[in-house]
Amino acid sequence: MSNNPTAILDWKPSGSGDTLVFERSAVQRCKPQKLPALHPDRLRVCLFGESLAAGFPLAPAFTPAMILEDTLRAALPDLQIEVIDLAMPNMGPSEQLRVAEAAQQLGPDACVFLTGNNWYYGLTFEPTASIEARKIYAKEIEKNGVRGLTKEFRQQLSERAEVMVKALSATATGKTKAYFAIPPTNHAWERLNPLPLLPGDENKTWQSLLGEAMTAEGKKDYTKVLEISAAMAKIDQGLTGTPERFQARALLALGKKREARDAAMSAIDGCNWQNVTWALPQVPSFVADIIQTGAQKYKYKSIDIEKAFTDETASPWHEFNLFYDHCHLSAEGMRIAMARIALSLLEDLGFPAANMKTLLTQAPKPLALNLASGAIQGAHWLSQFYPDYASKDGVQRIEDSLRESVQTHALSASVLNDYVRLRHLAVSPGLSAVMPKAAHLPGVGAVVASSKLNAVFLAGALKVLEDKGAKETGELLAPILESYRSRFSEGLDLTQPSYRTWFWERTPTSWFDPQERQGSPIYRALWPKSQFSFLDTGASELNLEFVFRSLPAGRSVNLRLNGSELSAAKSETAKWQTVKIKLPQAKLKRGLNSLEVEWPAFTADTSQLLNEAKSQFEKGSEAEIFPVFGEIFALRVYI
């Protein structure tokens, strides 16, 4: 490394030698700060990591670095202690390594790496893979079918994790001690992944079992759910994580929390490869094992945050009380995690008398404002991902989170109010006059400014506002409904990403651009059912133009409006066809309306499709590895 001082993340050097300081502006963080390069009188801890370690969604007001610093200071009041925040949302592995290397300039006593969630960056399956990567896919498909792809992904991620623990720990030299805190995972975070193309009848059988599992779950017949999901697991062998998710829920319902936890981790391992839903930042179990076992090899201390959660909550099943989403911690989760890290540091400093109970008492608590903001952000995040087979649970969870926010801080109700008002179709939220009010609650701007209808979040917001006694929710909604009616006069296409009920319904080629119709103008159904939402006054009947194609020909595509059957659209040929259907007033609701498309069963020859995919990968092109039930070009509602 050069002797010239270099920036460490957003800390910029100025001065030199004894006067060298690192500064960061108030723009990126809560306040401007100055930091001497060397400070022998202080115990200096550097905290590294991604968004989890940076404190999303409570940052910048409440961050793990702040909690750790206050907790350590409370435990050792006579010592000058500083925890330097070197975490940053969206930081990938290369940048993590560079930050860790640059941080040596600060001469830290301890480096705490709370990282691993983003190590998958760049190991993306699609759509940005190189020619070489796609050739590897082709070879793997040739040898092992689609399972070869997951195997390849896991091998690559394992190799990367090994490099990361080795390289990050190597940056802690001399007196500096390295600590790796293993990021915990929300066991209850649900994700629905479709089954990729498998040979023979396996896709058909799997789909059929999926339906049976959902039925059994609806009847609370958990033994049956376990039996069916075992059969599903036999087919997909960890490809989707979906059967394991059914198992986790069933086991939890049966009171078997430890087994449920194990099933949930298998589900996370199974779905966490880069397929149709992007690989969310999470640490799969094989990466956690690498961090754990690397401790001895590379001379660092590993800290098991999951175990700390288990100890503190007396439960191996960890969910939304500790997490806002799939990996980001709630305020309570952060406090426990930081107390556990503080405990390890204190033990090494020769203060073995410290214990979690005391440290947790001393760990700071967030302001109500931050909790309220976090609850809204968490609910919004969840609302975009929660799969419909668990929607009842998910919808309730979102509503609960919004209610909690409203109860925690008075501003929340006005933010929800703004959210509703911003569903108006005349202007995108970014330019609406409503925005300045939403900005009062930190961090929720992006939620309120989202251009998605987001039926689940909207329903939750309306319910919470009504329950709070807001008399004017009808009045609040009226101009929004009118704006939809106004748009219907031009025709409103529900296949636009804004009106797809579930975020994960995006198609593989358009996955990276959630707000725009990028990659494909066509809605491709990867599930037997597709669901869309819109708002309406319900004042009179509407019309629907449905432009679709579906295989096989000669079968019916069923449409439902608010759960009620509409006339079926018969798929006469495999070509595009346009069907015009009335949406009768009697079936329309004032407020949110749901339109569901049910496709005929998938019957195409999967072996042939898989061969086509392989041949495209061989040439370096993208390929579809999931069955497509049907395609919609337009689902246009008009007056």
Asked if 552 is part of the footprint of other proteins (rule: CB under 8 A), the reply reads no
Among 129, 251, 267, 359, binds other proteins (CB under 8 A): 129
CB of 52 to other proteins, least distance (A): 8
CA distance 421 to 124: 38
Q: Which is nearer to other proteins, 15 or 491 (CB)?
A: 491
Site for other proteins in 386-425 (CB under 8 A): 424
Residue 111's φ and ψ, nearest 5 degrees, are -115, 120
> Are 316 and 304 spatial neighbours (Cβ–Cβ below 8 Å)?
no
Q: 81 φ, ψ to 5°?
A: -125, 135
Near other proteins by CB under 8 A, which window of 117-125, 313-321, 534-542, 584-592?
117-125
Closest CA to 337 of 188, 115, 512, 160: 115
Contacts to other proteins from residues 251-310, by CB under 8 A:
278, 280-281
Tell me how far, at minimum, the Cβ of 487 lies from other proteins, in Å.
9
Among 86, 110, 123, 398, binds other proteins (CB under 8 A): 123
**Chain residues 321-350 in contact with other proteins, contact rule CB under 8 A:** 328
- What CA–CA distance (Å, rounded) separates 533 from 498? 9
Nearest distance, CB of residue 375 and other proteins, angstroms: 17
> Residue 32 to residues 26, 27, 100, 193: CA-CA distances in angstroms?
4, 8, 21, 44
Q: CA-CA distance, 537 to 21, in Å (whole number)?
A: 61
Closest distance between other proteins and the C-beta of residue 90, in Å?
4
CB of 482 to other proteins, least distance (A): 10
Segment 520 to 539, residues that bind other proteins, using CB under 8 A: 520-522
- Do the strands 21-24 and 591-598 form a parallel or antiparallel pair, or are they unpaired? unpaired
| Shortest distance (Å) from residue 617 CB to other proteins | 10
CB of 242 to other proteins, least distance (A): 22
Residue 281 contacts residue 328 (beta carbons within 8 Å): no
Structure token digits, residue 203: 């896709």
Residue 203's alpha-carbon distances to 114, 140, 606, in angstroms, are 39, 19, 8
Min separation Cβ 582 and other proteins, Å:
18
β partners of residue 570: 556
Q: How far does CA 595 lie from the centroid of its chain?
A: 25
Within 569-598, which residues bind other proteins (CB under 8 A)?
Answer: 575-578
Which one of residues 30, 38, 79, 131 is an interface residue with other proteins (CB under 8 A)?
131
Burial of 538 (0-12, 13-18, 19+ CB in 10 A): middle
Spatial distance between the Cα atoms of 125 and 135, rounded to a whole number of angstroms: 12
Choices 130-138, 244-252, 395-403, 594-602; region in contact with other proteins by CB under 8 A: 130-138
Q: Considering the complex, what minimum distance in angstroms separates the CB of residue 261 from other proteins?
A: 24
Cβ of residue 91: shortest distance to other proteins, in angstroms? Answer: 7
Of residues 47 and 634, the one with the C-beta less far from other proteins: 634
The residue within the footprint of other proteins, chosen from 20, 74, 76, 97 (CB under 8 A), is 97
In angstroms, what CA-CA distances link 400 with 161, 363, 416, 457, 617?
37, 26, 14, 11, 45
Beta carbon nearer to other proteins, 431 or 478: 431
Q: Are 153 and 273 in contact (CB under 8 A)?
A: yes
Closer to other proteins by CB, 51 or 362: give it. 51
In the complex, the smallest distance separating the C-beta of residue 121 from other proteins, rounded to whole angstroms, is: 6
Smallest gap from Cβ 447 to other proteins, in A, equals 12
Q: What is the number of residues in the chain?
A: 639
Query: What backbone phi and psi angles, to 5 degrees, belong to 548?
Result: -150, 165
CA atoms of 199 and 195, how far apart (whole Å): 12
Q: How far is CA 266 from the centre of its chain?
A: 17
> 488-517: which residues touch other proteins (CB under 8 A)?
490-491, 509, 512-517
- Closest to other proteins by CB, 130 or 296: 130
User: Using CB under 8 A as the criterion, what x/- string covers residues 612-631 for binding other proteins?
Assistant: ----x--xxxx-x------x
* Window of 74-82, 125-133, 250-258, 585-593 that interacts with other proteins by CB under 8 A: 125-133
Q: Say whether 435 sits in a helix, a strand or coil.
A: helix
Q: Choose between 547 and 597: whose C-beta lies nearer to other proteins.
A: 547
**CB-nearer residue toward other proteins: 464 or 583:** 583
Q: Which amino acid is at 190?
A: E
The residue from 30, 38, 410, 427 that contacts other proteins (CB under 8 A) is: 427
Binding letters toward other proteins, positions 27-66, x by CB under 8 A: -----------------------xx----x----------
Three-class DSSP category at 493: strand
- Within 10 angstroms of residue 215's Cβ, the number of other Cβ atoms is 13
Residue type, 155: Q
Q: How many other C-beta atoms lie within 10 A of the C-beta of residue 497?
A: 19
Query: Nearer to other proteins by C-beta: 208 or 509?
Result: 509
- Minimum separation from the CB atom of position 537 to other proteins (A): 16
